[in-house]
Amino acid sequence: MLADYHMETNSATKGFKVKGIHIIDENHFIACISNFKIGQIEGHRCQDHDNLTPEQLKFDPRFQPKQMDKNRYQSRIVLMKMDFTPDDIVTEKRGPADSSEFTVLDHYDFDGAPVAVDDIAFDDGVALVSDQHNDRVVIFSVDITAKNALTFISEKTGYLMPHGLTMSKALDLVAVTCYGDNSIHIQPLSVFLNDTNIPNSWLLVKK
């Protein structure tokens, strides 16, 4: 093991569980963390969805996440820095790193309804996060050199309990897996972007 970080050692991560993580470079990674126990509602949403009409889905209280106490269920995006060089540990110049050698550079808290993040993908300054409880994918700009490193761009709905996701700028593709209807959505990455807070390197991809 090169390093071991424990969530309870920092106030920004204490009380949360890691749901998804992506390494940005040798010293930075981004993670989505949550205290939302999605399994409490997951079973009946998946089981009953196909048996309900769109009108029933609209009013069925089991499919209305905003009715839940937003103060009990929180999710957060964290940008972290490893204050060590992994290669020094690989080459045995030093021993493994512990929690004291990690710094939280920035975090983003979701406002409003309860949010249950489940996975995160990253490519060249843009991060996509699945929010399983609100049936959406949330898009962020990520700048590891900025004081406010995490900036909300937009969100895209139309999923049923999105779970895992991956993205490729080079291929202009996003893939999202959904628990609710047991499906995989393949979409152009460019449809997730608008003209606000897009990194300059992405302007040529925007369609």
Of 167, 112, 138, 187, nearest in space to 32 by CA:
138
Q: Does any domain span residue 2? A: no
**207 found inside a domain:** no
pTM score over 0.85: no
Question: Which is more confident, 141 or 28?
Answer: 28
pLDDT, residue 206, reads 45
Model confidence at 95: pLDDT above 70: yes
Of the listed ranges 35-49, 90-104, 109-123, the least confidently predicted one is 35-49
How sure is the predictor about 110, in pLDDT bands with cuts at 50, 70 and 90?
Answer: confident
What is the SS3 assignment for the chain? CCECCCHHHCCCCCCCEEEEEEEEECCEEEEEEECCCCHHHHHHHHHHHCCCCHHHHHHCHHHCHHHCCCCCCCEEEEEEEECCCHHHHHCCCCCCECHHHEEEEEEEECCCCCCCEEEEEEECCEEEEEECCCCEEEEEEECCCCCCCEEEEEEEECCCCEEEEEEECCCCEEEEEECCCCEEEEEEHHHHCCCCCCCHHHCCCCC
Q: Categorize the per-residue pLDDT at 190 as very low, low, confident or very high, splitting at 50, 70 and 90.
A: confident
Q: Which residue has the higher pLDDT, 49 or 207?
A: 49
Domain limits for position 130: 7-202
What confidence category does residue 204 fall into, taking pLDDT thresholds of 50, 70 and 90?
very low
Asked if residue 1 is part of any domain, the answer here is no
Question: Quick check: is 36 in a domain?
Answer: yes
162 within 8 A of 88, measured Cβ to Cβ: no
| Residue-level pLDDT at 192 | 79
- Domain count for the chain: 1
**Domain membership flag for residue 42:** yes
What integer pLDDT is reported at residue 82 of this predicted model? 97
Q: Taking CA 86 as the corner, what is the angle to CA 81 and CA 92, rounded to the nearest 5 degrees?
A: 145
Q: Is residue 145 part of a domain?
A: yes
Is the pLDDT assigned to residue 172 strictly greater than 70? yes
